[in-house]
Amino acid sequence: MFSPQQPIFGQYRDGDHGLYLLDARIKLICLLILVGIAFYRETAVFLILPLLAAAIGASRLPYRLIARWLLKLKWFLIFTFFFHLLFTPGYFIPYLVWHERGITYEGLHNGAYISLRLLIFLAASSLLTLTTSPGRLVDGLGKLLSPLKRFNFPVQDLALMIMFSLHFLPLLWQEADRLRKAQIARGISFSQGGLVQRIKSLSALTVPLIFSAFRRADNLALSMEIRRYRSDVSRTSLYPGKLQFMDYLSLMTVLGIAFLAYILGNTPLP
């Protein structure tokens, strides 16, 4: 149904080199720092893009793989760009004015930068899920949030919920594709007819998909109940928690990029 060249959204790809060897906690922290500084300083965008390209190269993943994932969200990026382009007030660009409205320099600036920031976030998130198994990702998130246990925050329940979400996303993607092909074989068209007809056709896909999701969730809950799972029991970690040299080096590199972006953003132009 799905070839290895066309991975499912959110699906981890096996590897034992480059970014795969970094601790999941370091990846999560680096992602938060890069995304935070990208939305805080515009100059950070031009510093993060080469770093992101180098990270993809270090993971030895094809660049077209990340591009294929981003193309799935192209309409969201296009809508974001044109929304800011058309509705941001400011100084109008000559020859791009109609009926007292038009495209402004500020709209072009905001649309380009916000779309680029979202592109960085989506690419970095995709790189994280591609190079980090769901188990390691959830374990790293649980360790980062472990101090919240002192305030009776349900860290274990949150980590378990995220792990199940990461596990079910590829399964639901496969189930949706299987149902779509089955409905097409029965003569249902999802691309023909008017808007009402297309909505009715989609109901033949969404309703079985929702029932399938509830059935899987019910089976999982029953399985956990049979095994007498309890979230309040302390458990050991499957993955080692000791950071390596490359973890510290990666974190220092990202912090250096963030510091440089902050300095450049506060330095007045001559």
pLDDT tens, residue order, the chain (270 aa) = 334 344 455 577 887 877 888 898 999 999 999 988 888 888 888 889 898 888 888 888 888 878 887 887 888 888 999 888 888 888 878 777 666 667 888 888 888 899 999 988 888 888 888 888 888 888 888 888 888 888 888 877 787 787 777 777 777 778 888 888 888 887 777 667 666 777 777 777 888 888 888 888 888 888 888 888 776 666 677 777 788 899 999 999 999 998 988 887 766 544
For tokens 């007045």, the residue is 268
- Residue pair 138/28 in contact (Cβ under 8 Å)? The answer is no
Looking at the fold, whether 111 and 221 belong to one and the same domain comes out as no
Q: How far is CA 186 from CA 121, 161, 258, in A?
A: 40, 36, 55
Structural domain span for residue 180: 167-230
Looking at the fold, whether 199 and 80 belong to one and the same domain comes out as no
Q: Which residues of 198-216 are buried (b: 16+ CB within 10 A; e: fewer)?
A: eeebeebbeebbeebeeeb
Q: Is residue 8 part of a domain?
A: yes
Query: What is the amino acid identity at position 176?
Result: A
- Residue pair 47/37 in contact (Cβ under 8 Å)? The answer is no
Looking at the fold, whether 65 and 133 belong to one and the same domain comes out as yes
Q: Is residue 78 part of a domain?
A: yes
pTM of the full structure: 0.74
Looking at the fold, whether 29 and 86 belong to one and the same domain comes out as yes
Q: Is residue 159 part of a domain?
A: no
Per the structure, how many domains does the chain have? 2
